[in-house]
Chains A and B, each alone.
Chain A
């Protein structure tokens, strides 16, 4: 079904658009960090004293999440038909196919 590899599919968003969007996005990120040094925010948790704590936490947290998920994938990923093996004789068999057919 998915004979088409990742590399052969073109990006749906034109490259100059995505460049523009990304540039705006990174500018916003920089701005948010700059504001963190200018504006004195309230602190409720001791970790919040770290400069740009939320930016660091968001970035590192997600980097960890994505890397860990790759590890999880190695552990739990199975082919799509993994659960399709012959069901219990008699019981599940008739039920699954009988109604549909």
Chain B
């Protein structure tokens, strides 16, 4: 039985059952879903697939190979962590909604990575968007409602683009199987663009930094795990070795780190950090060698763990204090020592300190760049690696838990949150110490050893001196202060410029329209006035002749006639 159930089905059935149970049974059911699903996906063999014919096409709703299985394991881990993290939600209806949408969202992500054809992929692609938006809307703030709406529109557009690309592809090749695509022809570009939106390519990235910080404390943990990783998976399957991805990835790794330095909202800082990390994965996919693609998907695996851990620690801060802005926080290590420790583990992992998981996967991408002779991209990525230390390694833990004492005194978050963060932190260290566990699951055979003396030494030098620069800037008091503010980004185009343009164009159209109407009405009025002059009450043609005067004139005429008779 286990090993033959489509992975998404377990989550979807679970989501249907959740509203009907309360209390302890719901708790048990919530935890049973990822555990049962995990056992099922672990039992699924390579080559397992489900197929059926529809309208003359062979669809493959489930296809298991090493690449999809790796993401299958990852998403079950992520779901287990995120569900554990949200177990304390058990009262309001919106909590039920969060559980249900979280499960459908995780199930859709599984459906997407196991989808063997474009039609199935499209269905789960759209389900991802529709289910996840409720994790933002249940925050129930006006900002969340609007950000959620923008998020939904962007993702539905991505889905429609994917569908258009898939239709062209199927029309040209006659085969809906989702395999290598490449940038040949219209279909390749359309699908590339659809994946690019979900992977937060530059200029189409702002949905991520706009929406993720507006999600609920628990919802953002779900969000950070699935959408972008599904996109990375799809890129790794459809576009390995596509050169332009190297440059896109390098740009993605670099530009967000500048924003991250000056961003005040710590969850938004993590959003920028996320784009930076996806940059490494996209770059790896672009290089396309076995080592590079292995590095890209291994980094996706690790990113879900450490980024999830960081989002959880900031979610814990949000849950306990109601704030996530650096300018409002500080000194929380006194009242949240466990959360602080777990956050620092996440920070060390994302910064790629040796013995933490970021180190064992990011180095694969860096080595692949050197192996393939990308001598100018390598320093760019090295700069991006150093930049991570600033925002995710130091800024997040420092401004939340240390820095200036904000005077906030609180408690550790609920136990389930601590357990979820604990699982994440444990896995970050486990993979960092025993990279073989992850390497054994990667799509290509791995012959890579991250722990040689040169590599450890150079990485430590890079990280320590990067931290040193931040320390020196802080000591000299020339480090940019935390200021309550927003920084305009690409979303300015549709949040500020487009409304203004629409308003300006609308105003101009209204003005022209009004002028036309006035001219027309004026002309009409002049005609009417002319007619009125002739036919109006005092008009010469419309004068009413009193009956008396007519009788007078008739009698005058008759008198005249009579008079003439007598002549």
Contact = CB atoms under 8 A, between A and B. Distances in A.
Contact of A45 (B370, B463, B495): B370
B145 A62 contact: no
Contacts of B383: 57, 61, 65
16 contacts: A9-B407, A12-B334, A13-B402, A25-B464, A45-B370, A54-B458, A54-B465, A57-B386, A62-B466, A66-B470, A72-B258, A72-B262, A72-B487, A92-B146, A96-B146, A100-B142
Nearest to A80: B484
A78 B457 CA distance: 42
Interface in A39-57: 39, 41-42, 44-48, 52-57
Contact of B390 (A44, A60, A62, A82): A62
Interface in A1-16: 1-2, 6, 9-13
Contact of A55 (B146, B461, B503): B461
Contacts of A35: 457
Interface string A58-95: 11111101101110110011111011000110001001
Contacts, number: 181
A59 B257 contact: no
A82 B499 CA distance: 13
Given A57-B462, A62-B386, A62-B470, A12 B331 contact: yes
Interface of A: 1-2, 6, 9-13, 22, 25-26, 28-29, 32-33, 35-36, 39, 41-42, 44-48, 52-63, 65-66, 68-70, 72-73, 76-80, 82-83, 87-88, 92, 95-97, 99-100
A36 B389 CA distance: 21
B454 A66 contact: no
Given A6-B404, A57-B462, A100-B142, 6 more contacts: A62-B465, A62-B466, A65-B390, A69-B261, A72-B259, A78-B487
Given A10-B404, A65-B390, A76 B328 contact: no
Contact of A1 (B328, B370, B375, B402): B328
Interface of B: 140-142, 145-146, 149, 257-259, 261-262, 327-328, 330-331, 333-334, 370, 375, 378-379, 382-383, 386-387, 389-390, 402-407, 452-454, 457-471, 473, 479-481, 483-489, 495-496, 499, 502-503
Main secondary structure of the interface of A (DSSP, over half): helix
A33 B461 contact: yes
B327 A2 contact: yes
Given A65-B258, A69-B480, A83 B370 contact: no
